[in-house]
Chain A
């Protein structure tokens, strides 16, 4: 095991290369640029390729194009680049090509604040392209170490599910420094619970069975299989067709290969949720870290507060919200995004509250003030706002 004090950007690069990533397509954007830089240094040393494109749309297309030729590939960006990925996301989802995308969220909309963390792409990551009729897999780390491990997991899931997997990080993860342990031996990898999948290719020429089956390898171009790989609705052979029947079958596969195998994807962390807590704090990504400190300290003071941290965001882990209680959803945005999913998933009669902040983490002090307000049934009104944030 090698230990470093390094950024999440470095950790993500290490994870990707360990997972077998051999092409990274980049376009400079704060705060993900360092991933591109580290890839440009490290990939050639293991026989991999760094390519830089004319814009993010081209970058992800290059990465997906290379993936369609059989390489494990990745791209990384932040919000303003993430929306330019919409096109190639659609291509990768529809053609069922594995690829890993990392989004280091900053403060939006548009350019917003470049060097500060946000969580405005919770829903964008679920719907990264248009048209619907698909499910997506999104993993959200809350530390540099976990960013490395989930990058590896993203490669694993993308191979098994033949689909893009998004690692939804934020500026504090990618820019912040932490002690990171990088495994070197197979034993160390196993001890960390890391999973790996090799790239195989679909012998074709037929496309995929219209079932929820996973582990059917993706189509790979250049293997002389007569592959047909397109953004059109495919027949079962892969020809383009415009019929509702064909689209129904295609959609069924894209949706249910993920929904029906959710147990392979779902990851979460819970704390103090087994004694009927008065409040359950819900948070993903970096805010979950100060929330966790706040919850632990509140417990020391005798307050019955628990915590849920979804790690796999999509498919959303509804099952974690089975208790009827007060939920406090803490996010790095002011509009409230994940809180809507919690409201949907929690049983009737639950109270759903929201604490939003942008650009910096909620502090332990702020969390304790918020817990007190909730316990006293006071409204959560951000300073200067006339109404509750959500």
Chain B
């Protein structure tokens, strides 16, 4: 394992970017990681962005900045354009319903049809974020423990447990198959 894992999530306000980061962060703490998490809010009214920068390590973390994301959950085309250039060899997860990608980029890009799946399979778009969380967990290939992530998520979002669980599993399968 690398000495530090950098995770970036970005999109517009209200998309659950910070909530996603918080769940991943708490789950990582439960897994025994040291964790830092910075959240930056642009001015949403003027089309700004929300960004969450997470660093996970088994050792004390110095810089809390994400400068070369290992994982990047992109929730908007704007976020993709703004932060995509930092990607070197990481994994980018995006929802084709909201993000237009540049297929020529050298890093791995996984399409997670989170919004459409949420509406089709669960009847409501509010589960989009949980699907993305499942997909991110799957994409880390065991680094983030699946059961621990599920438990943490259900602690932090105590509502609609069955639906969220199902959404998480759907997402998980999207990045692991």
Contact surface of A with B, Cβ cutoff 8 Å: 3-5, 115-116, 172, 175-179, 286, 289-290, 292-294, 296, 360-361, 363-365
Contacts and interface: CB of A to CB of B under 8 A. Distances in A.
B25 A172 contact: no
22 contacts: A4-B29, A5-B35, A115-B41, A176-B37, A176-B38, A176-B39, A178-B35, A178-B37, A178-B61, A179-B35, A289-B62, A290-B62, A290-B63, A290-B64, A290-B65, A292-B63, A293-B62, A293-B63, A361-B63, A364-B63, A364-B65, A365-B67
Dominant SS at the A interface? mixed
A245 B176 CA distance: 80
B34 interface: yes
Contacts of B67: 363-365
Interface residues of B, number: 20
Contacts of A116: 40
A384 to B, nearest CB: 20
Contacts of B64: 172, 176, 178, 286, 289-290, 361
Interface in B24-43: 25-26, 28-29, 33-41
Given A5-B35, A172-B38, A289 B26 contact: no
B63 A5 contact: no
Contacts of B37: 5, 176-178
B63 A179 contact: no
B23 to A, nearest CB: 10
A292 B29 CA distance: 23
A296 B3 CA distance: 13
B39 A175 contact: yes
Given A177-B22, A177-B37, A179-B35, A5 B29 contact: yes
A290 B39 CA distance: 16
Contacts of A3: 29
A179 B39 contact: no
Contacts of A286: 64
Contacts of B36: 176-179
A40 B22 CA distance: 24
A215 B85 CA distance: 57
A177 B62 contact: no
A177 B65 contact: no
A294 B65 CA distance: 11
A363 B35 contact: no
A179 B34 CA distance: 6
Nearest to B26: A5
Ranked 8 nearest A-B pairs via Cβ: A293-B63, A290-B63, A177-B37, A292-B62, A293-B62, A5-B25, A179-B35, A5-B26
A293 B64 CA distance: 9
B156 to A, nearest CB: 10
B25 A177 contact: yes
A365 B63 CA distance: 12
B35 A289 contact: no
Contacts of A179: 29, 33-36
Nearest to B36: A178
Contacts of A360: 40
